[in-house]
Copies of this chain bind each other. A is one copy, B any other.
Amino acid sequence: MLGCIIACAPVAAADRAAGRDAEIHVWLDRWAAAFRDHDLDAIMAMYAPDVVSYDIVPPLQLVGKAAYRASYEHFLAQYQGAIEVEFRDLRIIAGEDIAFATMLQHISGTQKGGQRSTIWTRVTAGYRKINGAWLDVHDHVSVPSDFETGRAQLDLVP
């Protein structure tokens, strides 16, 4: 057999699409809760072993979970207490077992020195459904760059 038979009622297809969007929403809410609480193990359990991350800080890319974990650990260590995350303009595009989400993220918290820190970033996350669970296989987090001045645009607001 060289082909597939796929037969769905439209209403069922729409229901399943809504269900997948809801599953990615759950992923994001769980991630935000773990991030807020500095729960590095809970965060990393949501990533695939072969995750490739384009992080907001150098280097250009982080390949694999160990490298990304080290970057998370370094980031979280700069904050004391809860790190709050707000999602804005969230868009989820989800298929049967591949999905991606795009959003603006507002990250705010208090740094170890006591100063308040807030930043708006752009985030793209790519997912695969593996053994029934959505795992993040790709993160891309950034702010725009100003080529005239060479400055990272760390203080933009949407």
User: Which A residues contact B (CB, under 8 angstroms)?
Assistant: 1-9, 11-13, 15-16, 52, 54-61, 89, 91, 93-100, 102, 104, 120, 122, 124, 126, 128, 137-138, 140, 142-147, 150-154, 156-158
Q: Which single residue of chain B is at the shortest CB-CB distance from A96?
A: B95
Copies in the complex: 2
Given A98-B99, A124-B54, the answer on whether A151 and B154 have CB atoms closer than 8 Å is: no
Whether A150 pairs with B140 at a CB distance below 8 angstroms is: no
Partner pick for A151 among B95, B152, B158, CB 8 A cutoff: B152
Whether A12 pairs with B6 at a CB distance below 8 angstroms is: no
Whether B122 pairs with A54 at a CB distance below 8 angstroms is: yes
Q: A2-B11, A93-B98 are in contact. List 9 more A-B contacts (CB 8 A).
A: A1-B12, A52-B89, A61-B104, A61-B158, A93-B137, A100-B100, A124-B138, A145-B152, A151-B152
Q: Which single residue of chain B is at the shortest CB-CB distance from A144?
A: B58
Q: What separation, in Å, do the CA atoms of A126 and B125 have in the docked complex?
A: 10
Q: Which 9 A-B pairs have the closest CB atoms?
A: A142-B142, A145-B152, A95-B98, A54-B122, A95-B95, A4-B8, A58-B144, A124-B140, A152-B152
Q: Which single residue of chain B is at the shortest CB-CB distance from A94?
A: B98
Partner pick for A98 among B3, B13, B98, CB 8 A cutoff: B98
Whether B7 pairs with A2 at a CB distance below 8 angstroms is: no
Whether A144 pairs with B57 at a CB distance below 8 angstroms is: yes
Q: What separation, in Å, do the CA atoms of A154 and B151 have in the docked complex?
A: 10
